[in-house]
Copies of this chain bind each other. A is one copy, B any other.
Amino acid sequence: MQQAGQLNKGRGQRRKDETRQKLLQAALAVMARKGPEAATIQEITDEADVGFGSFYNHFESKEAIVAAVMETHIERIGGALDEIAAHVSDPAEVLSASIRFTLRKVEKDPQWGWFLIRAGLGGDPLSIGVVRRMARDIAAAAKAGRGSKLDVDGVVTATSGAMLACIAASLTGRMKRAAPERSAALALRLLGLPPAEAEEVARRRLPRIDVP
């Protein structure tokens, strides 16, 4: 009897997990289209083909599912970026490699890119882990003398906007050729590197790390 109960519970839990996964995937799709702010719970449950009410068995609020999408879909790349930081000694190159890696991820998974754009543009870009890491890399490079120490906060703001614009241009085909390397070179100009040196750093061989 107890064993049958556990099996039942296992099946219920599995179904619950499946519904949760469906909701997360649907939320990513809807928010990639309209942004986290404009998306509604109704649209997410419609997209997932689940009843509206069952949403609340899984998430307390729209904010809760936004946070969960971030964690499961967006932040997964964070570990890879940390590996880059561990493999590369020049702090300017760390920033460059992270940006190239992020742009490659966008080329591989456009929905991920659109979600990043819509989420970043809506509110505070620093709420996104990828952007927070970039801010850390910029500060480290400035501190190490790779780039200018003038207005580091401004550089973080401008770089986050510039990179989102490059991602959008890559996704819409306005930046076709070598988007990862060109984006990295532009970020290095903001950091304060002269254009020719920025180009050189942005084209160095990347550490061999898989795009998740």
Q: Which residues in A have some Cβ–Cβ distance to B below 8 Å? A: 34-35, 37-38, 117, 121, 124-125, 148, 150-151, 153-155, 157-166, 168-169, 172, 174-175, 182-183, 185-186, 189-190, 192, 194-196, 199
Question: Considering only CB atoms, which chain B residue lies closest to A169 in the complex?
Answer: B157
Given the complex of chains A and B, what is the CA–CA distance between A164 and B154 in angstroms? 12
Residue among B34, B117, B186 making CB contact with A151, cutoff 8 Å: B186
- Of all chain B residues, the one with the shortest Cβ separation from A150 is B195
Taking A160-B165, A161-B162 as known contacts, 7 extra A-B pairs with beta carbons closer than 8 A to each other, sorted by chain A number, are A124-B174, A150-B196, A151-B186, A157-B162, A157-B166, A158-B183, A194-B194
Counted per complex, copies of this chain come to 2
CB distance from A63 to the nearest CB of B (A): 17
Of the candidates B125, B153, B166, the one whose C-beta lies within 8 Å of that of A158 is: B166
Contact of A175 with B153 in the complex, beta carbons under 8 Å: yes
The closest CB in chain B to the CB of A121 belongs to B121
- B residues near A154, Cβ cutoff 8 Å: 166, 175, 182-183, 185-186
Least distance between A16 CB and chain B CB atoms (Å): 32
Cα–Cα, bound, A177→B151 (Å): 11
Report B-chain residues with C-beta under 8 Å of the C-beta of A165: 125, 157-158, 160-162, 164
Q: In angstroms, how far is the closest chain B Cβ from the Cβ of A141?
A: 13
Q: Please state if B151 and A161 are interface contacts (CB–CB under 8 Å).
A: no
CB distance from A138 to the nearest CB of B (A): 12
15 A-B residue pairs with CB within 8 Å: A34-B37, A38-B38, A117-B121, A121-B164, A124-B172, A125-B165, A148-B195, A157-B165, A157-B174, A158-B162, A158-B163, A158-B183, A189-B189, A192-B195, A194-B194
Chain B residues whose C-beta falls within 8 Å of the C-beta of A117 in the assembled complex: 121
Q: Which residue of B lies closest to A186 (CB)?
A: B158
Residues in chain B near residue A155, CB distance under 8 A: 186
**CB proximity of A151 to chain B, nearest CB, Å:** 6
